[in-house]
Amino acid sequence: MPEEMLIDEMQCVYQKPGTLTDEYMHYCPGCGHAVAHKILMEVVEEMGLQEDIIGVAPVGCSVFAYNYMNIDMQEAAHGRASAVATGIKRVRPDKFVFSYQGDGDLAAIGTAETIHTINRGENILIVFINNGIYGMTGGQMAPTSLFGQKTSTSPYGRDVAHNGYPLKITELIAHLPGAYYVTRQAVHTPNTVRKFKKALNNAFEYQKLNKGTCFIEVVSNCPSGWKMTPKETLTYIEEKMLPEYPLGDIKVPTQNKN
């Protein structure tokens, strides 16, 4: 029996947005990608953007985002999602365009594209999922991995003398004049989810203004890569990730001179 028939429409208080497909998500239980996808697609539905939006999926755990998001999408090479999004937006300036990228994708192999896309002020949204690890390839160290964090390629813990520092790319790109709206959010509590949703709303509203790049970092988790239960990752986010990556707006439009 189709699911929708089980629930009387009048009684329905919560449902999957029509902007998500019926495909089963492959994400590990408790993974922040799944929540971020859903909230992003809720906003796309609520703002009525489904027919006028083109998304770009990265190489990373969210490589299959195009299987779940019921919108036009392109799957980019590792690190190049913002360049692909630039190509799309330049030839389809009247459409909404976003890229969705992990920390390895955006802040390691794709750093040049990230900086230059934002420096050109491309009128796109970049959603940056920072889980401090390479989830897809099995838990290697990411540019955003924390001091002392143990991963499969930092088995003794990240040593700054050897591996450098956790890269705060969001603070870095906020300095660029092309960045219009830069904020750091999370999706591990109902409250943070609400704020992330608001940030997405803002970003798509701003995209209509053609004033520059909007950038939303999402401090997320990776239960599999971190070798924790989903519940443990929530504590880890609060106690370890957020002190290094504090939540909140980093650049809001009133700070812009343009």
Partner 1 sequence: METNKSEIRLMKGNEALAEAAIRAGLDAYFGYPITPQSEVLEYLTLEIPKRRGIVLQAESEVASINMIYGAAGAGARVMTSSSSPGMSLMQEGISYIAAAELPCLLVNVVRGGPGLGTIQPSQGDYFQATKGGGHGDYRLIVLAPSSVQEMCDFVFDGFKLAEKYRNPTLILSDGALGQMMEKVEFPGDGSLPHQIPAWATTGKKGRERNFITSLHMEPERMEEINLHLQRKYKEIEENEVRYETFEIDDAEIVLVAFGLPARICQKTVELARAKGIKAGLVRPITLFPFPKKIISDLSKKIDRFLVVELNAGQMVEDVMLAANGNCPVHFKGRMGGMLIQPEEVLEEIEKIVEESLTLNAGQE
Ligand X SMILES: Cc1ncc(C[n+]2csc(CCOP(=O)(O)OP(=O)(O)O)c2C)c(N)n1
According to CB under 6 A, which one of 102, 178, 212, 223 is a site residue for ligand X?
102
In order of 50, 157, 240, the CA distances from 149 in angstroms are 39, 5, 10
Spatial distance between the Cα atoms of 207 and 192, rounded to a whole number of angstroms: 22
- Pairing mode, if any, of strands 213-219 and 125-130? parallel
Q: Are 55 and 254 in contact (CB under 8 A)?
A: no
DSSP state letter for 97 = E
Q: Residue for token digits 């360049």?
A: 83
Does 55 engage in binding with ligand X (CB under 6 A)? no
Q: Which of 61, 118, 167, 199 binds ligand X (CB under 6 A)?
A: 61
Element (H, E) at 242: helix 242-244
Q: Lay out the site mask for partner 1 across 102-131 (x = CB under 8 A, - = otherwise).
A: ----------xx--x---------------
Q: Which stretch binds ligand X (CB under 6 A): 126-134, 157-165, 192-200, 239-247?
A: 126-134
Interaction of residue 50 with partner 1, rule CB under 8 A: yes
Determine, following the binding rule CB under 6 A, whether residue 114 of this chain makes contact with ligand SF4. Answer: no
By CB under 8 A, how many residues form the interface with partner 1?
32
Torsion of CA 180, 184, 185, 186, to 10 degrees: 150
Among 70, 86, 99, 131, binds ligand X (CB under 6 A): 131
Which residues sit at the interface with partner 1, rule CB under 8 A?
Answer: 50-54, 56-57, 63-64, 66, 70-77, 80, 83-88, 90-92, 95, 112-113, 116
Which residues sit at the interface with ligand X, rule CB under 6 A?
Answer: 59-62, 78, 102-105, 129, 131, 133-137, 142
